[in-house]
Amino acid sequence: MMIVLGLEGTAWNLSCALVDEVDVIAEKSATYVPAKGGIHPREAAQHHAEHMASVVKAVLDVARKDDLAIEGVAFSQGPGLGPCLRTVATAARALSLKFGVPLVGVNHCIAHIEVGKWKTGATDPVVLYVSGGNSQVLALRRGRYRIFGETLDISVGNALDKFARQVGLPHPGGPKLEALARSSKEYIPLPYVVKGMDFSFSGLSTAAAQAAKKYDLADVCHSFQETAFSMLVEVSERALAHAEKKEVLLVGGVGANSRLREMLNIMCDERGAKFYVPEKKFMGDNGSMIAYTGLVMMKSGVTTPLAESRVRPGFRTDEVDVTWQ
């Protein structure tokens, strides 16, 4: 069985993992938590540089102890924060040279999808990918993950985090808003923006911060979730109908939200589609998803020559030929 090492570090989480074709063998992460405000790209990159040796060592120790041969080094090539990507790519190049094995540049969004499929058994889903940096509805069509709908401005995770900051809650705001929303009694109307198959969240975040000056915070959190998640579910439902798929896969950090899951579950039930969510540890950014995607790419014959290993901060999901499906 092939064994690949993967390195993730597009934003807040530096993570190194070792996987084979069946499971995760080892994973070690170091999480950057901003002292105040949101993620600062250079500070996050500094964090990753400081912790790189220890997370890599922890994984290599397992490989050495079990006498495992690493056959490839995968890294998240983009999209993500430039300084963070460069730190990770530098380490990945060094490891690939050290072990004399191929380098594989992985698209971070595709890695979320592939690990989701691997860990849930979904085969050909419409994917709702909602995270701190991205919000997209995708499905595989003619060899690429086509983007059916996406955010026109900021991601839903970013909108939740921004709103949380404006009402004085620490980063990341998503889980805190979810907890507060549970005690809400009332829905306050907020801007619902779906244009064609795309959505927008920046107006919602601003309007919610305004509403929080007048209304109960729990009610605003609840209303924020109901509005934002309804937008996501509407577009996912239309993609399901349009692409004629029978599965929905939820991935990305915002997918941890139980209300979002509940809403998607209801929609899937009504449509006779099957709903898949991976375990929580595979939802947010993690090294295993990069290692696994690198592995399936390598098995299909794809590697990344050193000369083509420059980072790609704006790397789009639909630029990648899905050679492994």
Among 149, 284, 287, 294, binds ligand AMP (CB under 6 A): 284
Give the shortest CB-260-to-ligand AMP separation in angstroms: 7
264 lies in the binding site for ligand AMP (CB under 6 A):
no
Among 78, 79, 125, 157, binds ligand AMP (CB under 6 A): 157
Please state, as a whole number, how many other Cβ atoms lie within 10 Å of the Cβ of residue 96: 23
The stretch among 75-83, 85-93, 144-152, 155-163 that binds ligand AMP (CB under 6 A) is 155-163
Instruction: Compute how many residues bind Mg ion; rule: CB under 5 A.
Output: 2
Is 148 or 282 the residue whose CB approaches Mg ion more closely? Answer: 282
Residue 160 contact, options Mg ion, ligand AMP, none, Cβ 5-8 Å cut-off depending on partner type: ligand AMP
Instruction: Compute how many residues bind ligand AMP; rule: CB under 6 A.
Output: 18
The stretch among 23-31, 67-75, 172-180, 185-193 that binds ligand AMP (CB under 6 A) is 172-180
Is 102 or 252 the residue whose CB approaches Mg ion more closely? Answer: 252
> Which residue of the chain is nearest Mg ion when measured via CB?
131
Q: What is the 3-state secondary structure (H, E, C) of the chain?
A: CCCEEEEECCCCEEEEEEECCCCEEEEEEEECCCCCCCCCHHHHHHHHHHHHHHHHHHHHHHHHHCCCCCCEEEEEEECCCHHHHHHHHHHHHHHHHHHCCCEEEEEHHHHHHHHHHHHHCCCCCEEEEECCCCEEEEEEECCEEEEEEEECCCCHHHHHHHHHHHCCCCCCCHHHHHHHHCCCCCCCCCCCCEECCEECCHHHHHHHHHHCCCCCHHHHHHHHHHHHHHHHHHHHHHHHHHHCCCEEEEECHHHHCHHHHHHHHHHHHHHCCEEECCCHHHCCCCHHHHHHHHHHHHHCCCCCCHHHCCCCCCCCHHHCCCCCC
Buried b / exposed e over 181-201, threshold 16 CB at 10 Å, is beebeeebebeebbeebbbbb
**Cα(130)–Cα(2) distance, rounded to whole angstroms?**
30
Among 131, 151, 227, 288, binds ligand AMP (CB under 6 A): 131
Residue 62 contact, options Mg ion, ligand AMP, none, Cβ 5-8 Å cut-off depending on partner type: none
Q: For residues 102-131, which are near Mg ion according to CB under 5 A?
A: 131
257 lies in the binding site for ligand AMP (CB under 6 A):
yes
253 lies in the binding site for ligand AMP (CB under 6 A):
yes
Q: For residues 128-147, which are near Mg ion according to CB under 5 A?
A: 131
256 lies in the binding site for ligand AMP (CB under 6 A):
yes
Give the shortest CB-108-to-Mg ion separation in angstroms: 6
77 lies in the binding site for ligand AMP (CB under 6 A):
no
The stretch among 64-72, 115-123, 231-239, 279-287 that binds Mg ion (CB under 5 A) is 279-287
Among 27, 178, 198, 285, binds Mg ion (CB under 5 A): 285
Tokens of 125: 């889903």
What's the distance, Cα to Cα, between the start and end of the chain in Å?
A: 18
Residue 172 contact, options Mg ion, ligand AMP, none, Cβ 5-8 Å cut-off depending on partner type: ligand AMP
Give the shortest CB-79-to-ligand AMP separation in angstroms: 11
Contact at 8 Å (CB) between 249 and 120?
yes
Given the rule CB under 5 A, which residues bind Mg ion? Answer: 131, 285
Given the rule CB under 6 A, which residues bind ligand AMP? Answer: 131-133, 157, 160-161, 172-175, 178, 252-254, 256-257, 284-285
